[in-house]
Structure 1
Amino acid sequence: MTATSTAPAPAPAPGLWAQSALIGGRTLKHFVRSPMMLLSTFGFPLLQLFMLLATFKIIVHDTLGESYVVRLAPLVILITSFSAIGSSAIAFWVDIRSGVFNRLRVMPVHALSMLLGRMLGDLVRILGIAVLVALIAQLPGFRFRQGVAAAAGFFVLVALFGLMCTSLAVVAALSAPYPPVIMRWVQMPTLALTMLSTGYMPREAFPSAIRPVIAANPVSTAVEALVGLSRGGPLLVPVLATVAWTVGVSALCAWVTARRFRGFVAG
């Protein structure tokens, strides 16, 4: 009598979040292996921080009586989140229209894992830059003076802002007919939101006629919330406004993405 051997059962496929983490790791590996991307992503925010400090810190301190780095460091962190929209959208645009996405569709891989993985990798990158800028900004005087919980809240808000930016990047990638259009869609709105915010100057420094617009700007609410969590100051209103902006825009982007992504999955 011969014993019959049974083939081992195949290992279960990783779940959606495990697959997303793997693709997010792929996104980060591509980023780390690109010297030019590393230089522009980490070098530009630090260059901007110290150039603006050298140019405006005396003027701001003399006219408004506060250290410029208190609001400039949070602004630079938010600008890097904005700058990730264009590069992330272009990379995702290429991925979903190339053989990479087609190969994944015929494998036991959840279609959403590519989308979530891209967002996860970019969010980790945004938070990494935020930590680096916050650490380097200690040199000219930036400090977390409100305790550990407030410092943790600082980076939670940065993560929410980053989630909003990665959500916008996905919508841009799914909607743009070709990559150059993405930069035209992204550059002017983000530049206007940044310039017309309380990151460069407090609201009182703007003409009174446009102060309501400045105060409602999502970059302004985020800057004020981050200033409150680091140096101290009003918290409830700017934090709630920032959460409302980021969650609201992210939810709208999720709805648009769900409608558009089905077409790519269906092929």
Structure 2
Amino acid sequence: MTQTDDQVAAANLPVVHGHTETWRLLVPQTIIQTRRLLLRWWRDPLTMVQSLVFPALLLIVLNNVLGKQISVFAGASALYGSVPMVALVGVMSGSLAGAITLGRERDQGLLARLWVLPVHRASGLASRILAEGVRILLCTMVLFGVGMLLGFRFEQGLLAGLALFGVPLLYGLGFATLVTACAVFSAKAALVEAVSLGSSIMMFFSTGFVPLAAYPRWAQPIVAHQPMSYAIDAMRGLSLGGAVRTPLLATVAWSVGAIVVFAVPAAVGYRRASRS
């Protein structure tokens, strides 16, 4: 009896034993896919420029052009506002670059190929969350390192300095959840571009760009209560000193709120994009 070509091909396919949707497989497969994403971002010029190069150059330019005037006006070094602001800019820019990469993987069919492989299907989205967290921490440390070269210091001690890095991490995960939801539902990244424009406007209307008193009276409530200003004020308090509790709680509320609102759409959209 001779075998047909289909039978021969089927005999050569790998055999999957057991159920792939188990918690035992989720952790190692998430780590593998996280490593893949980090390597891809590291080798992608767009991601590196938006996450590190652009924010670092922005910080140097702001410090040289406006630093002295803002320091005199605020009564303290402008770096305690500009360094946290630029760290958040790097967080948001990197998330936007990652969303563009996600759109490319969807359009190239990579998400669909990963979906049919014998791997835990939750590992794809979980790895993106983990990779975002690693990227946020690494980029934040680099940008604060640049700030220290310019004169930024952690005046409140080691514990406050360590807690400071949790602020951009939480803020970045909330923002990344929003951007991911936009990326998986937008066919041509139009929503991602709109979010990019909105994040740029938030930077110029934040307490990290200039002190709150420098804005017109009608704009001060908007500037004071937008999420980026709360995160900047919390990091300023943890580094230079001042109020921490109120801006930190507001940052947690904004970030957790974004995660709660956009987590389900992001998961549903990622599943739909993987199956298309």
Task: Work out whether residues 115 and 275 of structure 2, in 8 Å CA contact, stay in contact via their aligned partners in 1.
Answer: no
1:196 corresponds to: 205
1:175 and 2:182 aligned: no
Task: Work out whether residues 168 and 250 of structure 1, in 8 Å CA contact, stay in contact via their aligned partners in 2.
Answer: yes
Q: Percent of aligned positions with the same letter in both sequences?
A: 30
| Equivalences for residues 48-87 of structure 1 within 5 A | 48-87=58-97
2:232 corresponds to: 223
Task: Work out whether residues 86 and 182 of structure 1, in 8 Å CA contact, stay in contact via their aligned partners in 2.
Answer: no
Q: Find 2:255's aligned residue among 246, 252, 261.
A: 246
Runs of 4+ in 1 over 6 A off after TM superposition: 10-13
Task: Work out whether residues 41 and 98 of structure 2, in 8 Å CA contact, stay in contact via their aligned partners in 1.
Answer: no
TM-score, structure 2 length as denominator? Answer: 0.86
Structure 1: stretches of 5+ with no match in the other structure: 1-9
Cα displacement (A) at 1:36: 5.5
Task: Work out whether residues 28 and 121 of structure 1, in 8 Å CA contact, stay in contact via their aligned partners in 2.
Answer: yes
Cα displacement (A) at 1:98: 3.1
| Equivalences for residues 38-57 of structure 1 within 5 A | 38-57=48-67
SS in 1 for 2:176: helix
Cα displacement (A) at 1:209: 2.1
2:160 corresponds to: 150
Task: Work out whether residues 183 and 192 of structure 2, in 8 Å CA contact, stay in contact via their aligned partners in 1.
Answer: no
Q: Partners of 1:61 and 1:15 in 2: how far apart? A: 53
| Equivalences for residues 13-162 of structure 1 within 5 A | 15-35=25-45, 37-162=47-172
Q: 1:209 to 1:217 in 2, by over 3 A?
A: same
Alignment length, in residue pairs? 258
Point out the more displaced range, 125-134 or 90-99.
Answer: 90-99
Cα displacement (A) at 1:63: 2.2
Q: Partners of 2:33 and 2:80 in 1: how far apart? A: 36
Structure 2: stretches of 5+ with no match in the other structure: 1-16
Amino acid at match of 1:254: A
**1:178-222 CA-partner distances (Å, limit 9, x unpaired):** 13x144322221112111110111112212222111111100000
